[in-house]
Structure 1
Amino acid sequence: MNMISGFNRLGLQINIFAGDHPEMRFWKLVGRFGMRRSLLVRFATFAILCTFPLATAISSPHKIVWKAQSSYPAGLPQLYAPAAHFAKLVKELTDGRLVIRISPGGSIVPSKQVFEAVSTGVLDVGCTWAGWWIGKFPAAVLFGNSYPNGLQMQEMLAWIYTGGGLELWNELYKGHGVVVLPPYGMLGSENFCWSRKPINSLADFKGLKFRTVGIWGKCLERLGARVVSLPGGEVYPALERGVIDAAEFATPAIDKKLGFQEICKYLKVPGIHEPCAPLETLVNENSWKKLPDDLKDKVKYALKLSSFHAINLAMKQDAEAMNFFLHYPGLHVSKLSPEMIKGIVKIGNEELDRYAKKDAFFAKVLKSQRDFRKLVEPYASLVRLPYPYAK
């Protein structure tokens, strides 16, 4: 009776077990024990077969594929490579459940349209730099750290992760369909400039045709320079032909790759105008919402690993490039004087304050960064050793 009622609950009609049905005589001859054993075996087999597809589904979940693009070409060190490394880490950490297919700049959308492409869902992920969006979001330049006397690398990372920086970054883009995740990489200090003429004082900027962008360009204009905005690919020929007298572009390793040492006599350091540059990770808001929580955690972890790897690799690459410049025939490498740095910082702060008066959110982010620096400065000034430590 228990077996009959059990099968009836499954919707099976087995009437031969009921009452005095003639067929019951046959089953009595076979034996009640043998009958039950046979049915139990069949039922167990049926149950195993029913659960097999479920087990397979659990062990092989649906693969998610995200379309991603960098704002930079594949050949540039420190810019595209960290994005590719991030995508590789995500695939490994998620056991292939999430695959990010990263493409070089310009392969899907133009480099300066990555934000819009992520916002509208053309891309799931954009690996870029916040400074591109200064025209639409003035405060973006603060997250790109492209202004005189910005936060240094360790300070910037600490502000992003522990000082409210990432939350402010997301607030900046709120309502535009994107989520900002921690940087996928980080550039160190840029070269201050490459030039065909010596620059030994602030007065030397007067009349100088200088390639740069953003707030730093406004500062140079105040010093009398004629600022020219050029895409990265046009800087070398413009310097070579004398269309411009000086230019800043990126870090030692990237500048070496572009070959500026071949056409310029002078290299000035350090890059007071951009002490470091966080590389921006944008994710389409809907794509992020649909992602399971465990995969979200793995993506964030992959970003920490990719940044760590990028920073360490960049240190080695930039050191090798600078040593190359120091021994390059005919190239004069020199440091900004303390007087030049002091004057640049003064003008930079004045420009930042001018932007802050016009834009409340710019002022909010600037105050957050300045407050964090005030927190760090006493400690840093006491514990940072002069370099080199000893000879």
Structure 2
Amino acid sequence: MPGQGAGRRPENRGGKRMNKLLRSLAASIALMPLATAAVADTKILASWDQSYAAVGEVLDPFMEYLEAETTAELGLSRFGPETIPPFEQLNPVTQGLFDMLYTNGGYHYNDIALGMALDSLSGDIGTIHESGMWDFVDQEYQKAGLKLIAIFYDTNGFHMILKEPLTGDGLTGRRIRGTPLYHPVIEALGGSPVVLPGGDIYPALERGVVDGAAWPAVGAVNYRWFEVSSYFVRPTFGQVGHMLLMNLDAWNALDEQTRTEIETAARAYEVEASATFDGLAGTEEETLVAEGMQETRFEDDVVANLKSAWYNGVMDLAATVNPDEIAQMREIAETAGIGE
């Protein structure tokens, strides 16, 4: 897939046609009472498959935890990007074809950009709640027909993997895989962003379609990118928000006790997830080194401006979609000390 400009939605060869599974889901949901569908058969659509640790090590355990902590029979089941491509998942959930969406805000920023803006922040999940940011984002997603259930933050942030080491000229002349979230930083460092789903990164590196890839600091090991690249870049930047959203009608159809139980479980697991990511990040880097990858570092002048470039770049991009809301996010972030 060719690279996209920062303000354009990535195209997907599947187009806008619903596949057979999606049509059958729509038909079955239409025949079921909403409350029954939401409680007895809760479908979670995920932007990644189990190869990404945020699914296998965080979402799947949370699903088990949620089932154990709620008295209702939720009947949780997970569907991945093989069902609906990552960049096309928001609408099927807002339309009620799936009940929940586990994703990163960068995958749907053309529709609502606040989720992507979350990744520009600093601070742990407790600070995100205390600042009022969590509630503000929840409020805005509800206007779009979605309830924010949880943000599973990986505060270890994002990094890049490269086929060749840095040489003092940033990313000049290099094609770097990255969703629009990464575009401001890639372009500021002289690189050319190429939009690809996670599953396409390995062959793109192998064939030389890209020279590197931007991705969360946790993930390269399971995808085995160490087989087709030799360097990981330090320092990392930003933090990774894995959002769990729910169709608002499905949420409202739940009884009060079930909603309270879900919220309580989600708050507890947000903290657990952060600790899980910390452990995974340490193991990840050790494994990359053991597999033959080496660290390559940005120059000191780049490092000095990296945090600011990331924060302002992501916020500015998000503001092209939701200018008033992003202005409010900036105010909350800077008042709480979780912005630039």
User: TM tier, shorter chain?
Assistant: 0.7 to 0.9
Say if 1:190 and 1:251, in contact at 8 Å, map to a contact too: yes
Q: Does 1:251 align with 2:227?
A: no
| Deviation of the 1:79 alpha carbon | 2.7
Residue aligning to 1:86? 62
Contiguous gaps of at least 5 residues in structure 2: 1-38
Aligned residues: 301
Say if 2:41 and 2:77, in contact at 8 Å, map to a contact too: no
| Deviation of the 1:156 alpha carbon | 4.0
Q: Does 1:363 align with 2:338?
A: no
Larger helix share, 1 or 2: 1
| 1:192 to 1:348, Cα distance in 2 relative to 1, 3 A | same
Say if 2:115 and 2:243, in contact at 8 Å, map to a contact too: no
| Deviation of the 1:350 alpha carbon | 4.9
Q: Which of 54, 65, 80 is 2:41 aligned to?
A: 65
Normalised by the length of structure 2, the TM-score is 0.79
Residue aligning to 1:339? 301
AA partner of residue 125 (structure 1): M
Say if 1:205 and 1:224, in contact at 8 Å, map to a contact too: yes
Deviations 1:253-299 (A, max 9, x none): x1111112122222112221x3x212111111122112121111111
Say if 1:82 and 1:306, in contact at 8 Å, map to a contact too: no
| 1:241 to 1:230, Cα distance in 2 relative to 1, 3 A | same
Say if 1:70 and 1:105, in contact at 8 Å, map to a contact too: yes
SS at match of 1:73: coil
Q: Which structure 2 residues correspond to residues 223-372 of structure 1 after superposition, within 5 A?
A: 223-252=189-218, 254-272=219-237, 274=238, 276-329=239-292, 331-348=293-310, 350-351=312-313, 354-355=316-317, 358=320, 359-372=323-336
Say if 1:119 and 1:176, in contact at 8 Å, map to a contact too: yes
Residue aligning to 2:35? none
Runs of 4+ aligned structure 1 residues displaced above 6 Å come to none
Larger RCO, structures 1/2 (Cα 8 Å, 6+ apart)? 2
Q: Which structure 2 residues correspond to residues 1-391 of structure 1 after superposition, within 5 A?
A: 64-95=40-71, 97-106=72-81, 108-143=83-118, 145=119, 147=120, 150-151=121-122, 155-183=123-151, 185-201=152-168, 203-252=169-218, 254-272=219-237, 274=238, 276-329=239-292, 331-348=293-310, 350-351=312-313, 354-355=316-317, 358=320, 359-373=323-337
AA partner of residue 106 (structure 2): G
Say if 1:91 and 1:99, in contact at 8 Å, map to a contact too: yes
1:374, 1:314 → 2: CA distance? 20
| 1:196 to 1:91, Cα distance in 2 relative to 1, 3 A | closer
1:333, 1:283 → 2: CA distance? 39
| 1:125 to 1:297, Cα distance in 2 relative to 1, 3 A | same
| Deviation of the 1:191 alpha carbon | 5.0
SS at match of 1:79: helix
SS at match of 1:204: coil
Say if 1:191 and 1:267, in contact at 8 Å, map to a contact too: no
| Deviation of the 1:125 alpha carbon | 1.6
SS at match of 2:274: helix
SS at match of 2:41: strand
| 1:307 to 1:356, Cα distance in 2 relative to 1, 3 A | closer
Say if 1:64 and 1:99, in contact at 8 Å, map to a contact too: yes
Contiguous gaps of at least 5 residues in structure 1: 1-62, 378-391
Deviations 1:225-257 (A, max 9, x none): 2221111111111111222112112224x1111
Say if 1:84 and 1:102, in contact at 8 Å, map to a contact too: no
AA partner of residue 145 (structure 2): G
AA partner of residue 258 (structure 1): Y
Deviations 1:99-157 (A, max 9, x none): 142213135533333321221111122222222111122333112x0x4xx31xxx141
SS at match of 2:53: coil
Deviations 1:295-339 (A, max 9, x none): 11111122133333322232222212211223333x221443432
1:349, 1:281 → 2: CA distance? 22
Q: Percent same amino acid among aligned pairs?
A: 16
Normalised by the length of structure 1, the TM-score is 0.69
2:296, 2:259 → 1: CA distance? 46
